[in-house]
Chains A and B, each alone.
Chain A
Amino acid sequence: MRARYVAGLDLDTLLDPDGGHWSKARSERLSLVGTPIDLQPTASVRVAWLGKKFGAIDRVSVAAVHNGSALAFRLEWKDASENRTLDDITAFQDAAAVLLPSVPGAPVITMGMPGMEVNAWYWSADEDDAGRHVVAEGLGSTRPVGERLVRGRGLWKGGHWRVVISRALQVQTSEPVAQLKPGDTTQFAVAVWEGGHGERAGIKAYSAEWRELQLEAA
């Protein structure tokens, strides 16, 4: 997939899921699957979900745009319910994330491994604009890196989510995160959580393999 370079876009415009710049980016459809039950890190999660279908969102359209300093992904998927608020203990939010390798060859399926980190840009419907920027080196190991580095914006309308997740190409940190520049080729994977189905943590739909991402030269 190509991340289209659009010169002169300010961040606010870049984050707009309905912005005109998305019409210039070619979106790709990705099939998602539920994460393997055997890889859930605890017995109690495994018994709770054994035999239940999860990974309710099985298809997502992804497009990418950058403006020379920030990269944004737009994810679109069908979801009959908008789950934004945690108004009861049984309520979970819709969420999505883009995963990039911090280290070439880091595995998607286990979200990295010790010494081979991955970098996730996470958006959730209940926190919308304030995304999370995390590093992981294995399931259950995510740790936040920096404050407000990831920005997101989600619109739910007529049974569809359109969500933009964005981060600066380069960030100031000594942590192993994806550092990008125009013209680079990297990889990405995505995950979507259907809050209405109780999905959270490792209980999610994901694209099980890396996809190539080429950032157009600025």
Chain B
Amino acid sequence: MAEVKRQLAMVLDLNKCIGCQTCTIACKRLWTRDEGMDYMWWNSVNTKPGRGTPRDYEKMGGGFRGGVAVPGKLPTRRDLGDAWKFNHEEVFYGGKADRVHLKIVGEEPDWGPNWDEDQGAGEYPNAYYFYLPRICNHCTNPACVESCPRKAIVKREEDGIVLIDEDRCRGYRFCMEACPYKKIYFNHARKVAQKCIFCFPRIEQGVSPACARMCPGRLRFVGYRDDPEGPIAKLVDKWKVGLPLHPDFGTEPNVFYVPPLAPPRFDENGDIDESKPRIPNEYLVSLFGPRVIEVLEILKTEMAKARAGQKSELMDLLIVYRWKEMFGGFDRDPATIEWTTA
């Protein structure tokens, strides 16, 4: 695997995600509007517990176990939610706006990219869920790069962004089998694989990825892994509160999550029950690995400090008083750049 000089990374604080999908739409409008990309969501946000996108992707294999490649399955378009067709023509241009309403044309879908939103798990009054935004993890040990017989996927030496060379790609889709996060899509019009590019044209101009910059919740931190002044090193290495999703997949993601805390449980009398957490520990461990328990303790300790009026660098970081400080120097306003479309 190619050694990279530096690695760009993202940390997402799941305690701040409100599931608004602004990131999803920011990405969609910027990158996946061309023919063949209609069903692609390089950024997706799903409710957890939930089946995710594509449906049940965590059971589709791929990645590595003990350093050995694990066979993976290809998702179907339907697993990914497909792109529903609507009667836009009829409603907007058919002259029948007083009689027809917007509806899906063709087969009634049984799945969508955010189908099980807010369902979660648990029983009232102890139901629980949280939102999990996902992009390509730009892994340190990318299964997609390993899988491609044409070496069409590269991990950039200068920043570790993983990119598909569409001129070399022949649409074999081995990468889609190999990616355990199922974050690669097949463009049926161009017959190539496509995925999140960490907004590299923006990065190259000092602008953070659109999903991060557009996030109203200020939950996506961006920067180099090795920048001690940047937010990534502080959250992941200094405070150790950033965890990869599914470390068990063996690809070493460079997208990290601050795991979700939840309100306390109620017992049968309606009193607060602190004896066990609302979100079962074993569930969080299954997503973020065993360190998640320790991370939740760090968060609780620092929250308590802040509540008691003491200084907490971690809480200050996570609150994000100064928006631009989230972006590790990639804070240039894209409106100040003259973009070309050539």
Is A201 touching B176 in the complex (CB atoms < 8 A)? no
Separation of A218 and B70 alpha carbons in the complex (Å): 55
Residues of B within 8 A of A45 (CB): 147, 149, 174
CB distance from A124 to the nearest CB of B (A): 10
> Which of the residues B69, B71, B77, B146 comes within 8 Å of A89, measured between beta carbons?
B77
Is B75 touching A89 in the complex (CB atoms < 8 A)? yes
Residue interface mask A61-93, B partner, CB < 8 A = 1: 000000000000000000000000011111000
Separation of A89 and B40 alpha carbons in the complex (Å): 12
Is A90 touching B74 in the complex (CB atoms < 8 A)? yes
Is A88 touching B177 in the complex (CB atoms < 8 A)? no
Is B150 touching A47 in the complex (CB atoms < 8 A)? no
CB distance from A108 to the nearest CB of B (A): 17
Residues of B within 8 A of A89 (CB): 74-77, 80, 173, 176, 186
Interface members, chain A 23-49 (any B CB < 8 Å) = 40-48
Residues of B within 8 A of A90 (CB): 74, 76
Is B149 touching A139 in the complex (CB atoms < 8 A)? yes
Separation of A196 and B229 alpha carbons in the complex (Å): 54
CB distance from B192 to the nearest CB of A (A): 11
Residues of B within 8 A of A40 (CB): 149
Separation of A46 and B71 alpha carbons in the complex (Å): 9
Residues of A within 8 A of B174 (CB): 42, 44-45, 48, 201
Which residue of chain B is the closest to A86 with respect to CB atoms? B188
Interface size classification for chain A: 20 to 34
Is A43 touching B176 in the complex (CB atoms < 8 A)? no
Separation of A42 and B176 alpha carbons in the complex (Å): 14
Is residue A181 within 8 Å, beta carbon to beta carbon, of the partner chain? no
Which residue of chain A is the closest to B189 with respect to CB atoms? A86
Given A88-B77, A89-B186; A42-B68 close (CB under 8 Å): no
Separation of A47 and B151 alpha carbons in the complex (Å): 18
Is residue B133 within 8 Å, beta carbon to beta carbon, of the partner chain? no
CB distance from A44 to the nearest CB of B (A): 4
Is residue B103 within 8 Å, beta carbon to beta carbon, of the partner chain? no
Is B146 touching A42 in the complex (CB atoms < 8 A)? yes
> Which of the residues A47, A86, A202 comes within 8 Å of B149, measured between beta carbons?
A202
CB distance from A143 to the nearest CB of B (A): 9
Residues of B within 8 A of A59 (CB): none
Residues of A within 8 A of B71 (CB): 44, 47-48
Residue interface mask A110-138, B partner, CB < 8 A = 1: 00000000000000001000000000000
Residues of A within 8 A of B72 (CB): 44, 48
Is B186 touching A47 in the complex (CB atoms < 8 A)? no
Is residue B178 within 8 Å, beta carbon to beta carbon, of the partner chain? yes
Which residue of chain A is the closest to B152 with respect to CB atoms? A140
Is A48 touching B172 in the complex (CB atoms < 8 A)? no
Is B146 touching A44 in the complex (CB atoms < 8 A)? yes
> Which of the residues B77, B143, B149, B171 comes within 8 Å of A140, measured between beta carbons?
B149
Is B69 touching A47 in the complex (CB atoms < 8 A)? yes
Which residue of chain A is the closest to B67 with respect to CB atoms? A43
Residues of A within 8 A of B143 (CB): 44
Residue interface mask B143-175, A partner, CB < 8 A = 1: 100111111000000000000000000111110
Interface members, chain B 41-97 (any A CB < 8 Å) = 62, 68-72, 74-78, 80
Is B76 touching A44 in the complex (CB atoms < 8 A)? no
Is residue B191 within 8 Å, beta carbon to beta carbon, of the partner chain? yes
Separation of A203 and B53 alpha carbons in the complex (Å): 28
Interface members, chain A 167-218 (any B CB < 8 Å) = 200-202
Separation of A88 and B172 alpha carbons in the complex (Å): 13
Which residue of chain A is the closest to B184 with respect to CB atoms? A89
Separation of A63 and B151 alpha carbons in the complex (Å): 35
Which residue of chain B is the closest to A44 with respect to CB atoms? B147
Instruction: With A42-B146, A45-B174 given, name 13 new contacts (CB 8 A).
Output: A40-B149, A42-B148, A42-B149, A44-B72, A44-B178, A48-B71, A89-B74, A89-B173, A89-B186, A140-B150, A142-B150, A201-B149, A201-B170
Closest 7 CB pairs between A and B?
Answer: A44-B147, A43-B69, A140-B149, A44-B69, A41-B149, A44-B178, A48-B71
